[in-house]
Amino acid sequence: MPSPIPTVRTIKTYAVTPRPNPDAPRQLEMSAWDVPMLCPHYIQKGLLFKYPPDLSLEQIIQRLRSSLEEALFHFYLGLSTVYFYPLSGRLRVVTCEGGGVTCHVEVGVEGEGAEFVHAVADGIGIADVVAADGQDLPDFLKEFFPLDLALNFDGCTSPLLVIQLTELKDGIFIGCVFNHAIGDGTSFWHFFDAFAEISRCKAVGKEVVLSRPPVHDKWFIGGYGEPPIKLPYSSPEEVVVRFSPPPLRERMFHFSSESLAKLKAKANSECGKGTISTFQALSALMWRCITRARGFPPEQKTSCRLAIQNRARLQPPLSPNYFGNSIYAAPTTTTAGELLNNNLGWAAWKAHEIVSNHTDSAIRDMVHKYMQNPIVYNLHMFDIHSVMMGSSPRFDMYGCDFGWGKALAARSGSANKFDGKVSAYPGWEGGGSVDLEVCLLPKYMSALEGDEEFLAVVSPPIKLEVLLGKSIK
């Protein structure tokens, strides 16, 4: 049997490097939030656009390539007397004298560079990518992103950043693959937004002055400039634990601002506290409904993990433009019986408590404990009885305007997905709406699709005609 023809064909791969500077430092140390991320996958997120009407394909490629080169340059320009380009380098995981391994980012005088990939998706159009009207997300989305299932550790030999432009029948998709040991979701979208801002400036011949230049001063528990973190491994190879998810169903569920307002009011009414946020209520809903769909016995322990920012919670706070990882996946735990026998407000209050308790002292305590016993996280560590709420509806995904208008949809690749992973996106129409990308084993997804509590809150998806700006008859 001949091998099937791939859906997406790579046309050309370009190396992209910023302007060389022989006086630049060669090395950037990694913090206690960066080093643990060596074994998860790269971040893979991207945006779908209508085909820009006034540009040829060659002009689009040239605009994006030059914008990427300038983005690499600006992501250290003005923050030091010399230039250092972390996204152009490679990771170095080395064995220490006397045992242990350390990790840092290293850039040669010329820099190894990021990459830009031009690809074509044969026979695929905007409607196929959007997958509206209750369809599962299509499997071909993973081909819109290079370095599929690559670990961040692979940044020792692979680029730390890759942009892929994929041509569709009637649109384009811009996918970004970003090493998670270099930065978290906040840093990812910070870079993506800067990349788009530069492209937008080039569209009108405007000088590029980033509205939000990054801050690269690494935060260490004892201050800045501490020695590198030593991991308790005898060789770099011991760090590597690869992960491939089981067959999953993936769906995007939409929640309108009106539906979420009712959900929040319900949670606050039931808990009697009046301080539950919209996202805490939504997280509680997903925790309850997925746990019910899984059919756990009452005594089974289950957790809901929330990805919580550290930047604003530290005292003094870090800059919102701090570039790197600064996040924890904080859990709240109970039994399946207790979770489902109590109401939504009870579960939402547990989510609220874990967020409220994530204070400066709690963060510092977690860093202290990590420094005493540093490890590297891997995706096998996730508890299969739990739910992980990742990403954030606060990320300004639809504000990434490259000069040809608002994106039609945000989508992801196969990275960092497992049964129980839920990723939050802002809704396309704004106003506080939210889209949730839900990954579950097929039998659990089928049960979720029939869950009455869930169906009472989820909203109809935005129609493709509305996304495309067409009138609906």
Catalytically active residues, by annotation: 180, 401
CA distance 256 to 433: 5
For the chain, what percentages of helix, strand and coil (3-state, to nearest 5) are there? 30, 25, 45
For 342-463, where are the alpha helices, taking DSSP H only? 344-356, 360-372, 442-449, 452-455
420: left (phi over 0), alpha (psi -120 to 50) or beta: left
Q: Using alpha carbons only, how large is the chain's radius of gyration in Å?
A: 22
* Structure tokens belonging to residue 228: 């590198």
Strand partners, 151: 41
Instruction: Tell which residue, 125, 143, 127, 145, has the closest CA to residue 135.
Output: 127
Neighbour tally for 283: CB within 10 Å: 27
Strand arrangement of the beta sheet that strand 43-50 belongs to: 8-16, 114-121, 161-167, 171-178, 43-50, 409-412
CA distance 79 to 214: 8
Q: How open is the CA angle 448-451-455, to the nearest 5 degrees?
A: 100
Alpha carbon 188 to its chain centroid, in Å, reads 7
CA distance 106 to 159: 12
CA distance 113 to 97: 30
Strands 409-412 and 114-121, sheet pairing: unpaired
Q: Which DSSP string do the residues of 56-120 spell out, in sequence order?
A: -HHHHHHHHHHHHHHHHHHTTTTSSSS---GGGSEEEEEEPTTS-EEEEEE--SS---EEEEEEE
Strand arrangement of the beta sheet that strand 101-106 belongs to: 27-29, 101-106, 90-95
DSSP code of 156? G
